[in-house]
Amino acid sequence: MTITPFIIMAIILFSLGIYIVCTRSNAIGYLMGIELILNAASINFVAFARFYNGAVDGQIMALFVIALAACESVIALAIVLGLYKHYKTIDTKNVSTLKY
């Protein structure tokens, strides 16, 4: 077992995340892309820790990434629900301000 398949997997996930962030106009769609990007980063952390270091530092970084992703997701979805309450849409083309 080499590191290459894991890196390829992370590359594909990251690129798909970039594609989603570029193409979506729905705010929740963006978030899914960001989750994919963060997952790719965690895979890289864990894979390099496993194959080059042998210590647990990479796993701890992956845990921190997961915790911060949870925070980011909660806040972003709260903002999305607030936007929906006010604008009745979450399409980012129609929503250009956070203030009301």
In this structure, the chain runs to a length of 100
Residues binding other proteins (CB under 8 A): 1-9, 11-16, 18-20, 22-26, 28-29, 31-33, 35-36, 39, 42-43, 46-47, 49-57, 59-60, 62-64, 66-71, 73-75, 77-82, 84, 90, 93
Sign of the CA dihedral running 68, 71, 75, 77: positive
Shortest Å distance, C-beta 95 to other proteins: 12
Residue in the block written with tokens 């129609």: 94
Shortest Å distance, C-beta 84 to other proteins: 5
Q: Are 94 and 56 in contact (CB under 8 A)?
A: no
